[in-house]
Structure 1
Amino acid sequence: MIEFRKDLFRDERDDNLNEIGKPTQRQDMVGHVTGRSPFYDDHAFEGLLHLRCLRSPHHHARLRSIEVRDAERSPGVHRVILAKDVPHNLNTLLSLMGFGLDDEPLISGGKVSYKGEPVAAVVAESERAAYDAIAKIRVSWEVLPHVLDVEDALKPGAVTVNDTYPGNTFTYHDKYDHQKLRFGDVEAAFRQADRVIEGRYQMSPIEQAPTETCGAIAAQENNGRFVCYTSTQALFFSLGTAAKLLNVPSNRLHFIGGTVGGGFGGKVDSLHEPMAILGCMLTGRPVKYMFDRAEEMQVGAPRGAERWYLKDAVGRDGRILGRQLTGYFDAGAYTRLSSYAIHKSTGHLPGPYTIPNVKSDVYCVFTNRTPSTAMRGFGITGVDFAIESHMDVVAHEIGMNPIEFRILNAYRDGDMKAHRRVAKNTALIECCQVVSEKANWPIRDDFRRMASSEGGGVGEAGRVPNYTATDQNGLVDTRNRGIKRRPGDPERPFSMPGTIPPRAEPARQPTPAPTYAGGGPLPGFAPTPGTGVRSEPRPSYAPSTTYSPQPVAPAASVASTQPTPASSAPPTPNRTGPNRFSSSVSGLRRR
């Protein structure tokens, strides 16, 4: 039954404080519609100078020499800033919290690791004068090999992108090259599964594209302190970063925010504030540094690309018995916030589903791309896309309604998660039921009666346990504890992870094996010896009459459905195959 789960927040809920449906007025609404909201660029200073950067035209190169004398003599130029002028020219935001090593220079002085990395800055009377001076700077480059793909970056002999991390992966606690999760026995689940289905999912980098590009204005106050008006989303992060790079006490800096003209995560670990303050320190004049649109698109830190390989062991009743995930986050050339995104994604695996056997390995990989950072749920959005796309693929492959497939595998209150935490306040089943109604995608009554609360719903509690089949140590619970049945539910034996649930099947008449254009029986549908009945694996829940998956072409995309013996070698994700589902899903194959 679909109803509002009032018990979700029973400890915090106060029915007298319900604001849902009541009109509220945003505090900044009047300022926005009248144009009175203050943005950092609204602050006017007498004698304001403008800062622009000279950026690398190469993905990976070494600076042999840089000649700036002509630029310094250019009209309107007050200062040319090089790497040697930065007091502490290495930084990463997470190092402020003791997490990670400083690896990114404010201005590069030896080697550039991505296209657009700054190698010099010019402070001038106008932007035009600054651009004219930049054109007069002469740089001699030694172009180096570069790598733009995460898996290429991990191959033996690959180019070293980030000298702080020679293996091209972020190192956690100075020891581990990736984040991993282990729960149960995934290989046993694959051996015992009726179907093993794999998929490859790719998310490209996404630029936040704010209406207001990144920028800051810095000026010196009468007491010697430097004030910075900025578009940052995180004032104290930005202040700490500037204090570190400029090697000054944080109490000598005064950061003032205002209305952010769009951030979406891209203005969290910004570097334009220390650049503007450094220009102010070296010239004694107020300095403005603001990306133009081309810079915002090229060097404004995006959400990084992600690549995920998923492999599911599925029982004949549609339950997921095991899931293996391998993920690669493209951090770009430097750490920024990507290593933190790995923490978030690993904590989110394997999705909101009770899966008794889980194995995941997630890597933060350095490539010669623009350093990536936060954007709208980064670390979660990409892996959610991969998981839910794979859920649709698996449902399609086994011929099951995708909503029913999610309900069948969803967390129930009391289930043990792969992180060895008990699930509580779950409501995925109810959400799926509402989606079914709103989308006019019918599901069967058995699934409408299921619930996320303990007991799992009438009839369902006797079939799907409301806890995982492994204990907190990942061991199989052979005592069959915790399965709750309601009066009238049939007694059904419960099978352990990786086994096929026993079920009674009506006798089937002998059926000839289907054939395909190449002649002979369709692979995976050979008659069972001595019976003439084809050994076709199918879920115990037949597809809904309202759901008709498209037939799968019997070409090389179909292979044997027999379980694959375990191998001593680590499993290798499939990276080849036809793209049969969408431009974002490729390399799917079945066993």
Structure 2
Amino acid sequence: MSLDFRKDIFANERNDDLNVVGKPILRQDILGHVTGTSPFFDDHKFDNLLHLKCVRSPHHHARILSINTTLAEQSPGVQRIILARDIPVNLNTLLSLIDFGRDDEPTLAEKKVSYLGEPVAAVIANSEQQALDAVAKIDVHYEVLPAVFDVEDALKHDAPKVNNAYPDNHFIFNEDHKFQKLRFGDTEAGFARAAHIVKGRYQLCPIEQAPIEPNGAIAAPETNDRFVCFTPTQGLFFSVGTCAKILNVDLNKLHFVGGTVGGAFGGKVDSVCEPLAILGAMLTRRPVRYVLNRAEEMQVSAPRSAELWEIRDALAEDGRILAREFKGWFDAGAYTRLTSYGVVKCTGHLPGPYTIPAVKSDIYCVFTNRTPSTAMRGFGVLGVDFAIERQMDKGARAAGLGPLEFRLINAYRDGDMKATRRSASNTALVECIQVVAQKGNYPLSPLYQQMTSLTGGTHTEIPETVTETTVLPAGHSTVSKTSTAQGLAEEVEKQTSITTKGLSHISSLSEPKLSDGLGASALSGRSENNLQKTTPAPQAQTTVSTAPNSSSKSRYSRYSSSIRRR
């Protein structure tokens, strides 16, 4: 194994020796946390504070026929009611700040609602309860429309139209393409050569981030017609830019103050509360607090998107992946938010940490009548990684290999060209798998133990045999084992020389129990790890030598002609 060598590479790159791992490091904010003095946005107190609450849609999809606020305006404590017409620039999308996508989401719904709980109107009152009482008095008439909740159904020609900015229910990439695509190599040729074709379909549901501290904001007037906003946002500059656009004010008119984020996990990148809180402060000239309650947080704060994946692999007889095709659908919910960016991230990640000579991918960002989705912990990557690794398990079974062996065969190495046309460098997947196998008592044959990440980027011959000879000190046995590489599966073990000086018994070989779900050939190459222990053998030397197989070449088999380890 070359793990120590890999550590040296990373140490030089990061200008450290990786010794920080496993050692305690004092968090900068720990003192405030344990003493209860960490400043959260809701800790800021103001005199004459007003409270904002929203009227929310009871329907997943409906046309707004009328909004009657007469009774609410007469309700005790009400200072102001805000409708869509009161917002300077009602339509927005977060990524418009970087010219990516169309403005598609209203701050307050104007003509129709597209998801359950979408805000329709806002009430500002002297107390939170008075605001809630007034919300209940606003009368909204709806015409309920058909709704769609499945990404495949949403792309049908007769599906309900969810998003007015994207009438075909899918995001448009570069104002031209209905999906984000990746093309690398000749997938058709790969499937034509395949010994096995493996198909998989994988689905992931939305996940709410569920932070302890819900989304919210407190805004207040300052001098010189400026407004301060205390916010738990994860992206201050995204938030200030979004609010400046929606409120149609210069950036220097807004003063954003961040602080301790009480849990976010990606969900507080969107500016859910800040624009309305600041607008309320502008209209009333008083501080305004707008904080979601737990029910609102669970219902309308943006979750991780639902995803659907279809993967098709072409496998060679020896387990190599010759080609892989992806088709994916990200459920953006009713509006874009950050989901389209997640699709772009995902495409750049494909096909995962494996060297595959031909890759094809089409990934859609689809609109449905679900709550808009957004960032959450590795979004755009985590979902497809789940699908990829489940597909790798299926591929291993189809090839008759163990799950780790199959991954070792296809793992990328230094110098390999990735599907994004960048050369892989500083890879260590092979060594990581080897360590996992060792720590988990997973028996790998010498064929796989001697693989390395250091010699990628070339087509090397698969060795026909790998012979391991263990030479023990006098008084101990000498055992030699030969592994064949036909299909990277079969192994023949034999004892060639036994010296019994001072030794009353010899090592015995036993076949390991096959774990559930592995093909029969996955058993091969493992029984050498089940040698019963005899007298300790200090400083044993193991030599592995390989013989080339002229009939089979691949980009994944990299073995030294002679590897010695102590």
Distance in 2 of aligned mates of 1:353 and 1:376: 22
2:369 is equivalent to residue 368 of structure 1: yes
Equivalence for 1:239: 240
Amino acid at match of 1:199: G
Distance in 1 of aligned mates of 2:293 and 2:247: 24
Q: How many Å apart are 1:75 and its aligned residue? A: 0.6
Equivalence for 2:155: 154
CA offset digits 1:399-423 (Å, max 9, x no partner): 2110010000000111111122211
2:3 is equivalent to residue 3 of structure 1: yes
Give 1:207-286 correspondences, 5 Å limit.
Answer: 207-286=208-287
Cα distance change on mapping 1:549 and 1:399 into 2, 3 Å: farther
Contact kept in structure 2, 1:225 and 1:252, CA below 8 Å? yes
Distance in 1 of aligned mates of 2:146 and 2:461: 64
Give 1:252-401 correspondences, 5 Å limit.
Answer: 252-401=253-402
1:8 aligned counterpart, secondary structure? helix
Q: How many Å apart are 1:292 and its aligned residue? A: 0.2
2:435 aligned counterpart, secondary structure? helix
Distance in 2 of aligned mates of 1:45 and 1:99: 38
Distance in 2 of aligned mates of 1:15 and 1:386: 35
Contact kept in structure 1, 2:11 and 2:17, CA below 8 Å? no
Distance in 2 of aligned mates of 1:42 and 1:13: 39
> Which structure carries more strand by proportion?
2
Equivalence for 2:515: 548
Equivalence for 2:129: 128
Equivalence for 1:509: none
CA offset digits 1:182-230 (Å, max 9, x no partner): 1122122222211111010111100000000000000001332100001
Amino acid at match of 2:44: H
Distance in 2 of aligned mates of 1:269 and 1:325: 29
Contact kept in structure 1, 2:334 and 2:370, CA below 8 Å? yes
Equivalence for 1:34: 35
Contact kept in structure 2, 1:238 and 1:273, CA below 8 Å? yes
Distance in 1 of aligned mates of 2:323 and 2:487: 16
Equivalence for 1:483: 459
Q: How many Å apart are 1:121 and its aligned residue? A: 0.5
Cα distance change on mapping 1:551 and 1:450 into 2, 3 Å: closer
Contact kept in structure 2, 1:442 and 1:546, CA below 8 Å? no
Structure index of larger Rg: 2
Contact kept in structure 1, 2:215 and 2:272, CA below 8 Å? no
Give 1:66-215 correspondences, 5 Å limit.
Answer: 66-215=67-216
Segments of 5+ residues of structure 1 without an aligned counterpart are 455-465, 468-481, 492-503, 507-537, 553-591
Higher relative contact order (CA 8 A, sep 6+): 1
2:332 aligned counterpart, secondary structure? strand
CA offset digits 1:268-308 (Å, max 9, x no partner): 01220111011111111110000000000000100100110
Contact kept in structure 1, 2:323 and 2:358, CA below 8 Å? yes
Contact kept in structure 1, 2:201 and 2:310, CA below 8 Å? yes
Contact kept in structure 2, 1:441 and 1:546, CA below 8 Å? no
Amino acid at match of 2:277: A
Segments of 5+ residues of structure 2 without an aligned counterpart are 466-482, 492-510, 520-566
Contact kept in structure 2, 1:8 and 1:426, CA below 8 Å? no
CA offset digits 1:22-81 (Å, max 9, x no partner): 543111111000000000110110010110000011111110111001000001111111
Cα distance change on mapping 1:259 and 1:345 into 2, 3 Å: same
Cα distance change on mapping 1:149 and 1:542 into 2, 3 Å: farther
Once structures 1 and 2 are overlaid, which stretch shifts more, 392-401 or 405-414? Answer: 392-401
Distance in 2 of aligned mates of 1:93 and 1:255: 17
Cα distance change on mapping 1:545 and 1:323 into 2, 3 Å: farther
Amino acid at match of 1:483: H
Q: How many Å apart are 1:16 and its aligned residue? A: 7.1
Q: How many Å apart are 1:550 and its aligned residue? A: 3.7
Contact kept in structure 1, 2:318 and 2:399, CA below 8 Å? no
Q: How many Å apart are 1:355 and its aligned residue? A: 0.8
CA offset digits 1:309-335 (Å, max 9, x no partner): 011111111111111110000001111
Equivalence for 1:447: 448
1:200 aligned counterpart, secondary structure? strand
1:6 aligned counterpart, secondary structure? helix
CA offset digits 1:526-584 (Å, max 9, x no partner): xxxxxxxxxxxx944149945434489xxxxxxxxxxxxxxxxxxxxxxxxxxxxxxxx
2:274 aligned counterpart, secondary structure? helix
1:254 aligned counterpart, secondary structure? strand
Distance in 2 of aligned mates of 1:312 and 1:248: 53
Q: TM-score, normalised on structure 2?
A: 0.82
CA offset digits 1:448-497 (Å, max 9, x no partner): 1100001xxxxxxxxxxx33xxxxxxxxxxxxxx43579xx679xxxxxx
Pairs aligned (count): 483
Q: How many Å apart are 1:10 and its aligned residue? A: 6.3
Cα distance change on mapping 1:307 and 1:242 into 2, 3 Å: same
Contact kept in structure 1, 2:7 and 2:18, CA below 8 Å? no
CA offset digits 1:94-143 (Å, max 9, x no partner): 00011111110100110111111100000011111111111111111011
Q: How many Å apart are 1:172 and its aligned residue? A: 1.2
Distance in 1 of aligned mates of 2:421 and 2:438: 33
Contact kept in structure 1, 2:92 and 2:105, CA below 8 Å? yes
Contact kept in structure 2, 1:324 and 1:359, CA below 8 Å? yes
Contact kept in structure 2, 1:399 and 1:549, CA below 8 Å? no
Distance in 2 of aligned mates of 1:77 and 1:166: 38
Distance in 1 of aligned mates of 2:122 and 2:290: 10
Distance in 1 of aligned mates of 2:438 and 2:255: 54
Q: How many Å apart are 1:12 and its aligned residue? A: 2.9
Contact kept in structure 1, 2:401 and 2:518, CA below 8 Å? no
